[in-house]
Amino acid sequence: MHKNIGFISTRFAGTDGVTLEASKWAAVFKQCGHRYFWFAGLLDRSPEHSFLVPEAFFQHEKNKWITSQVFGKKRRDPAITDAIHALKTYLKKQLKEFIQTFEIDLLVAENILTIPMHIPLGIALTEIIAETQMPTIAHHHDFYWERTRFTVNAVGDYLRMAFPPNLPNIQHVVINSAAQEELALRTGISSIIIPNVLDFENPPAVDEKHTVAFWNSLGLKAEDVMLLQPTRIIQRKGIEHAIELVEELRDPRYKLIISHEAGDEGFEYAEWLKEDAKQRGVDLRTINIHMSDPMNPDTNYPDTYSLWDIYPHADFITYPSLYEGFGNAFLEAIYFKKPLLINRYATFVQDIEPKGFDLIAMDGYLTRGTVQKVKEVLESPERRAKMVDTNYDVASRHYAYAVLRRWLNIMLTNFFGANQ
């Protein structure tokens, strides 16, 4: 029996981790014969499958005002409680309409019952799930207790109720084992781990013309060596280590490219990085064009660049994150058969490292030995080929669509019985 799947979040647009993973889940559901629909406050999906409610976007002014009043404070004004409930009531009506319009059989809540970026939306969805007993997969990417900015708050009652809710018709999915342990300890909720995945069964389709045009737009020369930092410019990405690496390589041909702009978390860090690069004599370039999601069939127009246009010409990937829930860019680098430097963040150490990848790893700081290893990989085609082939092989076993397909089928069987 084919099901109608309703994805719900505050945004499905651009190339943030939640949007990318949701697109992959949708692709796998489609392969299994199901149909999918989108509910969010910001959408770049096809209109006939979309239900856009601007108030559901976390940057909507009503929600921004609520958020500014409840985090970093201990006391909540009654007027804010009223505002939360007023917005919740409105969003609940919209969610009901979404479910009816597209005859939704199963909900997939993408991170909105996880991180309290939009409290009224989380409460609205929790109440709908409780009232309708709609089968729901809550896909958790990062919990509020993993972010210091949510530590002091005036909404402990709502956080315990809806972030995440403990209801019998929800199957909870986390992306790493630390999150699974922490969720169980704090709430008694059991969950399954589904790591982020990529379509390793089908190597990436590269549009050569597009890719060349993209790199030319950066004004690089043929002899330049491109080190790519494929992340947004936010502090936990540890981009200063990539700048230091390029400085230590001491070769003017080496250029550092950052694939995304600053945005979600302010611009101070971006300014500091540019200054740091200048002082170290590092040629740092940021890409200031909108990137589309390569997994979203609705935005890949001929005239837009996607993430897939960035990777093919990169010579090396830097990924010195201090903290990651999983690490999409890690998989993407391996998918495009690129060598990479990784910082041993906790999830990597616990979940990824034991799988046996061949990587250059640093432990919070850059040593001379690490720089030497990067140099060797950049200068030896044999070493590079061996490294990237090994990694593709390991990832194909552990992080392919087949892994996701198996889990989604198990969850659907749990909800609807066999042969559905």
Per-residue pLDDT of 155-210, as tens digits, reads: 999 999 999 999 999 999 999 999 999 999 999 999 999 999 999 999 988 878 87
Query: In one letter, which amino acid is 119?
Result: I
We find that the CATH architecture of domain 208-398 is 3-Layer(aba) Sandwich (3.40)
CA gap 142, 145 in Å, rounded? 8
Strands, sheet with 50-52, edge to edge from the N-terminal-most edge strand: 50-52, 35-40, 4-8, 106-110, 136-140, 170-174, 192-193
Cβ-defined contacts of 354-359 (< 8 Å, 24+): 355/394, 355/398, 356/394, 357/390, 357/391, 357/394, 357/395, 358/386, 358/387, 358/390, 358/391, 359/387, 359/391
State residue 181's pLDDT score: 97
Helix/strand/coil for 156: helix
Report the DSSP beta bridge partners of residue 286.
258
Cα 26-27-33 angle, rounded to 5 deg: 90
CB 96 within 8 A of CB 124: no
State residue 245's pLDDT score: 97
State residue 299's pLDDT score: 67
CA gap 347, 356 in Å, rounded? 15
Q: What is the pTM assigned to this prediction?
A: 0.89
CB 243 within 8 A of CB 273: yes
State residue 303's pLDDT score: 64
Q: Is 408 exposed, middle or buried (0-12, 13-18, 19+ CB in 10 A)?
A: buried
Low-confidence ranges of the chain (pLDDT < 70): 261-266, 289, 299-303, 419-420
Query: In one letter, which amino acid is 272?
Result: W
CA gap 92, 126 in Å, rounded? 9
Equal CATH topology for 4-197+401-416 and 208-398:
yes
Q: Which two tokens stand for residue 177?
A: 């084992």
Report the DSSP beta bridge partners of residue 108.
7, 137
The closest of 252, 256, 245 to 218, measured between CA atoms, is: 256
State residue 416's pLDDT score: 95
State residue 259's pLDDT score: 84
3-state SS of the chain: helix, strand, coil percent to 5? Answer: 45, 15, 40
CB 168 within 8 A of CB 202: no
CA gap 102, 83 in Å, rounded? 29
Which helix (H) or strand (E) segment holds residue 161: the answer is helix 156-162
The closest of 287, 286, 276 to 244, measured between CA atoms, is: 276
State residue 219's pLDDT score: 83
Domain map (residue ranges) of the chain: 4-197+401-416, 208-398
Q: Which two tokens stand for residue 42?
A: 């910001």
CATH for 4-197+401-416 is 3.40.50.2000
